[in-house]
Structure 1
Amino acid sequence: MTKLAVQLYTLRDHLTTTADVASSLKRISEIGYRAVQVSAVKAFETEFDAATLRTMLDDNGLKCIATHRSWDRLAQNTSEELDLHHTLGCDYVAIGGIPQSYGADHADGYRRFLADSAPVIAALKAGGVRFGHHNHSHEFVRVTPESPQTLWDILIDEGGPDYYLEADLYWVWHAGVDPAALIRRCKGRVPVIHLKDKEVVPKDGPVIAAIGEGNLPWDTILPACEESGVDWYAVEQDTCRRDPFDCLRSSFEYLSAKL
């Protein structure tokens, strides 16, 4: 239970005002979660600052264990981003993929990004903040049709130990890759991961679901995560077919019984 967090992107429609954020954080805490990842909190961008958010989190017994920030902010305003993370008491920041300017499906673009990002990652590390890369399914495109190597393989093999991997295991599974095998391969570089389930619904087909309500093999995935040094399991649903707080509760209850 102490490793379970909410990826606030799940609740983005409930985070548009200061009052919304306060209410949502209270409900998250009441479910039993003790941490969040700060992402897509509209009111944080428009109505209050990091110090206020930290107070709101503290008031609800919640820790900020990660953020999602844009690469441009991290690269161009590194000092300010470090200050923000220090205020939040957060030592991990992730991007949602490499910038489109590098090419989302080209090996040379991934290698150029690794080279260009290295000094920024080093500066973040010097300031006590780790850097991570959140995947979707396109990172598992093969480099060439003839090669089994994928773009994600480049990040694993060439990114170095300071290039952490915020593995989203739904998208790993969606790409046809074994999540347990991948997470073991990334051992020591996956402090925060994202979890959601994949349910097949009559007429609609595959949809994102609360954890335990779909077909991901959690009985093999979760032991692999524990063996690989995962510190935080961030529950995330890009879309919810019912009230998102109810989905978060179902996921919390399922994972609490498993971990």
Structure 2
Amino acid sequence: MKIGLQLYTVREELAKDFEGTIRKVAELGYEGVEFFHYFDRTAEQVKALLDETGLVAIGAHRPYTELLENGEAEIDYLLSIGSRNVIVPYLSEEQRADWDAVTDNLKKLGKQCADKGAVLLYHNHDFELTEKKDGQPAFDFMYGTVPAELLQVEMDTCWVYYGGYDPVEYLGRYAGRTPLIHLKDMKTREDGSAETVVLGEGVVDLKSIITASEQAGTEWAIVEQDECARDPLESIADSMKWLKQHYIQGGTIHG
């Protein structure tokens, strides 16, 4: 697997200095970046920056409603910067009140992506595991209803864990369908909520997840830290340091 960064982790830094932050991510040893916002840069500007830094555009998290309303433009932008992975990042409570409507929309989006040579993925949180549809986790209903050729898995392994399920088991269940994972660590606060932390500083069994991801055929392990207790650039540097100490050999992860 290759190592990428979900840029949401450094969102405040990007807002202040987009180009400088991207260059710093590359300097830290990340091989690719996953976008969530383009900060008013054109596709040509983003592609030039990626070419300069040697970073790969892994994909982009784009709002569900934006994809439904402006799917063609979103797909075209992403293809222009060198990526095929269009990712639905989140569903609001209102949006997921009707899982049948969600799966119908995902089929349409998946077909739209496929017709243009792109791939649609869905990124989970914990609610897809805790909310049930037809007697099963909504996660499984969604992927069981939308065929693999129209929807691939971007498994946030930390949220699977926090949702009460075993990420290793889920990676095995969706082997061959999970090209991307989010590699994330966490601690549980006194109120039961999740606090995301630097890799290796939490309770998630990262070693087993890395091994299971390799076995599942995952291509990219994408580091993400939703909230950082210390400076985000320092946090992603420490996560990379942990990966280099434990798993990275010749630029790729080896579990």
Query: In the alignment, which of 131, 134, 137 is matched to residue 150 of structure 1?
Result: 137
1:160 equivalent to 2:138? Answer no
| Residue equivalent to 2:250 | none
Return 5+ residue gaps in structure 2 as ranges: 248-252
CA contact (8 A) 1:36 1:65 kept: yes
| Residue equivalent to 2:35 | 38
Q: How does 1:143-222 map to 2 (within 5 A)?
A: 143=132, 147=135, 149-161=136-148, 162-200=150-188, 206-222=194-210
The range that moved more, 21-30 or 194-203, is 194-203
Query: In the alignment, which of 178, 197, 218 is matched to residue 230 of structure 1?
Result: 218
Letter in 2 for 1:11: V
Name the SS of the counterpart of 1:173 in structure 2. Answer: helix
**Paired positions, count:** 246
Letter in 2 for 1:151: A
**TM-score normalized by structure 1?**
0.87
Consecutive aligned runs of 4 or more in structure 1 exceeding 3 Å deviation = 98-102, 200-206
Name the SS of the counterpart of 2:182 in structure 1. Answer: strand
RMSD: 2.2
In the TM superposition, residue 244 of structure 1 has moved relative to its aligned partner by 1.1
CA distance in structure 2 between the aligned counterparts of 1:204 and 1:72, rounded to whole angstroms: 30
CA contact (8 A) 1:64 1:90 kept: yes
CA contact (8 A) 1:71 1:99 kept: no
| Residue equivalent to 2:14 | 15
- Any idea what the Cα deviations from partners look like across 1:24-73, whole Å, max 9, x if unmatched? 1111111111100011x4xx343x21110111121111111110112233
1:75 equivalent to 2:63? Answer no
CA contact (8 A) 1:156 1:186 kept: no
| Pair 1:202–1:113, CA change in 2 (3 A) | closer
CA distance in structure 2 between the aligned counterparts of 1:86 and 1:142, rounded to whole angstroms: 33
| Residue equivalent to 2:45 | 52
CA contact (8 A) 1:10 1:237 kept: yes
CA distance in structure 2 between the aligned counterparts of 1:238 and 1:142, rounded to whole angstroms: 22
CA distance in structure 2 between the aligned counterparts of 1:203 and 1:126, rounded to whole angstroms: 46
| Pair 1:78–1:182, CA change in 2 (3 A) | same
Letter in 2 for 1:230: T
Return 5+ residue gaps in structure 1 as ranges: none
CA contact (8 A) 1:168 1:194 kept: yes
Identity of aligned residues (%): 27
CA distance in structure 2 between the aligned counterparts of 1:185 and 1:112, rounded to whole angstroms: 24
CA distance in structure 2 between the aligned counterparts of 1:202 and 1:241, rounded to whole angstroms: 16
Query: In the alignment, which of 127, 144, 154 is matched to residue 138 of structure 1?
Result: 127
**TM-score normalized by structure 2?**
0.89
Query: In the alignment, which of 79, 101, 109 is matched to residue 120 of structure 1?
Result: 109
CA contact (8 A) 2:18 2:39 kept: no
CA contact (8 A) 1:139 1:151 kept: yes
In the TM superposition, residue 125 of structure 1 has moved relative to its aligned partner by 1.0
CA distance in structure 2 between the aligned counterparts of 1:232 and 1:89, rounded to whole angstroms: 15
| Residue equivalent to 2:5 | 6
Name the SS of the counterpart of 2:238 in structure 1. Answer: helix
